Amino acid sequence: MVTSAHEGLHRIFQERPEILAPVFGVLGVPLSAKATVDAVTTDVTEARPLERRVDTVLRIGPSDGEDFLLAIESQSARVPGKERSWAYYVSYLQAKYELPVLLLVVCQDQATAKWAAGPFECGTSGWTAMRVYPLVAGPDNLPVITDVRTVAKNLPLAVLSALAHARSSDGDAILEAIGTVLQELRQTDPDTAEYFFDFLEVTLGKTPAGKKWKDIMSFVSYFPGRGTVRETAYFEGQAKGKAEGEAKGILLVLEVRGIAVPADVHERITTCADLDRIDTWLERSRTVVRAEDLFADDPDAVPSPHEQD
C-alpha cells in the first residue's frame, strides 16, 4: 500500500535532488557536485497484465564520469518477494537505457534496513545468475543532525535525517532544530520553508513524531502576508483568543464595580471580534456608570431603555 510517508520519502529525491550528494557521501559513493539530475519514467512494465513501477528513477550525469540511473525505493517494512522486484528493476532499466543502474532503498527502521542491504541472489545449484546489492539509507548510516547551524547548511539532508530517525530518541531534537531553521528561512525563502513544512507534516503523518512536529509548528506563523490557509487560521485563532480574554476582563471590571450587565450588552461584548473596539470598551469599563455607556458614540450601540421609548 502506498502511504503518505511512502510517497514523501521518494518525492523529496524528485523535487529536491540536491539531497543526493550528501546522501551518496554517507553511503561512500562519490558524486560530482556538478552532476545533473533528471527524472526518468518510473514505469518498468514490459507486458500486460504484469505491472511494475519503481518509486523514483533519476538519471545522474556526473561532470567527471559516465551517466547512470538511480532507482530509489522506500521501504517501511520487510516485504517477501520484494528482492525479486528489485532485481527486475535493475536488469530492465539497464537493458532499456543501456546505462549502469544503482538501487537506493530508504528505510525508517534498523530491521528493515538490515534486510534491504542484501545481497539478494538469483541462481540455483551453486550457480549465481544475478546478485543485487542495494544501497541503503536508514537510521544506521544517516547522521543525527540536531545542530541548528548544520541543519541550515544542509536542510534537505536534515529533513531526511528526521524521517530516518523518527522512531528514535533523537527524533524530537532533530525536528526542533529544523523548526528553528524554518522560522528563519521563512523571511528569505518562504517557498522552501513551506515545502519542507508540508513535506514533514505529510510524511510523518499521525505518528508520535508527526504530533511533535505539529506541536513545534503550532507556535509559528509561516509565510506572513501571503494569505495562506495556515497563516489565516493562525491569526484568526490569535485574534479570537485575545478578544475572548479582553471580553472576560470587561465583564469582570463591571462586576467588581457593581454595574449590572443586561443580556443584550453581555452578548455584544462576548461576541465582538474587533480588537480595537473591545480595547476601547475595556478602557471605558473602569469609568462608565451604566453598562450601555460602553458603546457611547458607537454606531452599533445598544440603545438605552430611555432611548427606546
Domain ranges (residues) in the chain = 4-137, 148-224, 230-308
Rg (CA), the chain: 29
pLDDT of the residue at 302: 47
What is the distance between the alpha carbons of residues 220 and 103, in angstroms, rounded to a whole number? 38
End-to-end C-alpha distance for the chain, whole angstroms? 72
CA gap 274, 169 in Å, rounded: 45
Q: Is the dihedral of CA 226, 230, 234, 235 positive or negative?
A: positive
Element (H, E) at 68: strand 68-75
> Within 10 A of 138 (CB to CB), how many other CB atoms are there?
22
pLDDT tens, position by position, 85-106: 899 999 999 999 899 999 988 8
Distance CA 151, CA 144 (A): 10
pLDDT given for residue 122 in this prediction:
86
Q: Scanning the structure block, which residue is given the C-alpha cell 507486458? A: 47
The region, left, alpha or beta by phi > 0 then psi within -120 to 50, assigned to residue 118 is left
User: In the chain, which ranges are E strands?
Assistant: 36-40, 56-61, 68-75, 101-107, 120-124, 127-132, 135-137
Instruction: Average the pLDDT over each of 123-127, 271-275, 303-307 and give the range with the smallest value.
Output: 303-307
Question: What average pLDDT does range 245-266 have in this prediction?
Answer: 87
* 203 vs 216: CA distance, rounded Å: 16
Task: Write down the pLDDT at residue 43.
Answer: 54
Residues 73 and 93 sit within 8 Å (Cβ to Cβ):
no
Tell me the longest C-alpha to C-alpha distance in the chain: 106
- Judged against a pLDDT cut of 50, whether residue 48 lies above it is answered with no
Q: Model confidence at 219, in pLDDT bands (50, 70, 90)?
A: low
Cα 149 off chain centre by: 20
Which has the closest alpha carbon to 200: 215, 221, 184?
215
Can you tell me whether residue 78 is helix, strand or coil? coil
Pick the CATH number of 4-137 from 1.10.3470, 3.30.450, 3.40.1350, 1.10.8: 3.40.1350
